[in-house]
Amino acid sequence: MRIAIFSWESLHSVYVGGVGNHVSELAVALQRKGNDVHIFTRLGEHQKLYECVQGVHYHRCPHEFDNDFVEEINNMCRAFVDAYYAEEDFGGPFDVVHAHDWLTANAMSWIKQAKGRKAILTMHSTEYGRCGNNFASGTSEMVSHIEWSGVYHADQVIAVSKTLASELCWLYDLPEYKVGVIYNGVNCNEFDGWIDDLAVRKMYEIGPYDPIILFVGRMVYQKGPDILMEAIPSILKHYPETKFVFGGDGGMRWQVEERAHHLGIHQSLRFLGHIGGWRLKDLFKTADFVCVPSRNEPFGIVILEAWSAGKPVVATVNGGPKEFVLHDVNGYKVEANPDSLGWGMGNMMMDHDHAQWMGRNGRLAVETVFSWDTIADETIKVYHT
């Protein structure tokens, strides 16, 4: 099968976050199963226009920038479509066009309308959810319209959780028969290997025996770093040596840091900004557990990353995590408020042996249910629907 994938990010072009991991890892798994896979994505600095990586063809497309972000995204989609047509002229028609999120939905829609290719759209989140379960005007309203247009033109829509599927049906009057659920995956083997725990701690000025609670994600309202901040004093009251590490950047970072100073707990916090690669993996392996305090979490790849490192999670029930986190088995499920979050973290701190057992259960889950080969098999079924 000849598959065209559209994404504004990937591991081998411009990388932003979770969608980039999903797109590149899924593409490799699809290629392993004998498919001809092409990714159309943005061109990063000092990158080639074309490159074959792990058997996957990367078409990196330059495009015009614009002060209007939505118009810039349309420019990007036009560049993707031009590159797509050039590849079809060279190598023949594609069987499937698979777009990811609103950012590339227009490229999929235009090709579907012009060529009648089978169109698949994976939604990783909605604008409503990214706004913290709120409707907004201006650019946000335009983004929502593109999401509606994308799910309308797609032959099949893939949501990364049942919660997100329900949200899409409610927001955009999407028929249930048109949307399926395929969870995200993770390459858990990337988290294997020895780590110098003391060296990692020294890098962030953390004592050799201090408990570490890790938050990884964008510092925005949707992800709830402010909720975690309000829960921290209750943990420090009983476990004063605990260190809270925040890995991520975003519009709420200054507010959260300011609140930490106001609460007098800033000495127990480490704000690292955006972090990735081996440094992030080392943090997962060094931490005692990972906290996911989101107000809206369509899936929560950070949970799979925590489990890959053998670490349990404390996660809110606002989204995908409530479906696959097994309470008191591979983590604790809590409400998105400081008291409930504090309860979950406190329970985790109270019983270290049980926490380690939950982490091992999480690792077992990512080795089976959330492998990329499993995700690829389910995706191919959608292509043939």
Within 8 A by CB and 6+ apart from 184, the residues are 18, 22, 160, 299, 301, 304, 370, 375
- Tell me the pLDDT tens digit for each residue of 310-364: 999 999 998 889 999 999 999 999 999 999 999 999 999 999 999 999 999 999 9
Name all domains of the chain by residue range, CATH numbers in brackets.
2-185+370-383 (3.40.50.2000), 188-368 (3.40.50.2000)
In 3-state terms, the chain is what percent helix, strand and coil (to 5)? 50, 20, 30
Residue 203 CB partners (closer than 8 Å, separation 6+): none
Model confidence over 258-305: pLDDT tens digits? 999 999 999 999 999 988 889 999 999 999 999 999 998 888 899 999
Query: Is residue 132 very low, low, confident or very high in pLDDT (cuts 50, 70, 90)?
Result: confident
Helices 101-115 and 139-153 cross at an angle (nearest 10°) of 40
Whether residue 161 contacts residue 319, with contact meaning beta carbons closer than 8 Å, is answered with yes
Share of the chain above pLDDT 90, in %: 91
Measured distance CA(190)–CA(362) in Å, rounded: 15
pLDDT band at 164 (very low <50, low <70, confident <90, very high): very high
Report residue 286 as tokens: 């060094």
* Helical residues (DSSP H) of the chain, grouped into ranges: 18-32, 69-91, 101-115, 127-130, 139-153, 162-172, 197-203, 225-238, 253-263, 277-286, 301-308, 321-324, 338-350, 352-368, 372-383
Burial code (b: 16+ CB inside 10 Å, e: under 16) for 28-40 equals bbbbeeebbbbbb
- For residue 320, which phi and psi values (nearest 5 degrees)? -55, -40
Q: At 122, which amino acid appears?
A: T
| Res 16: pLDDT | 83
Lowest-pLDDT range of 30-39, 108-117, 318-327: 318-327
Predicted pLDDT at 134: 79
pLDDT in tens, 195-245: 999 999 999 999 999 999 999 999 999 999 999 999 999 999 999 999 999
Looking at residue 277, what is its pLDDT? Answer: 86
Contact 330, 303 (CB under 8 A): no
Residue 43 carries which DSSP code?
A: P
Say if CB 318 and CB 336 are below 8 A apart: yes
Q: Are 284 and 190 in contact (CB under 8 A)?
A: no
Mean pLDDT of all residues belonging to the chain: 95
DSSP β-ladder status, 331-334 and 36-42 = unpaired
| pLDDT band of 189, cuts 50, 70, 90 | very high
Residue 133 has pLDDT above 80, yes or no: no
Res. 17 pLDDT band, cuts 50 70 90: confident
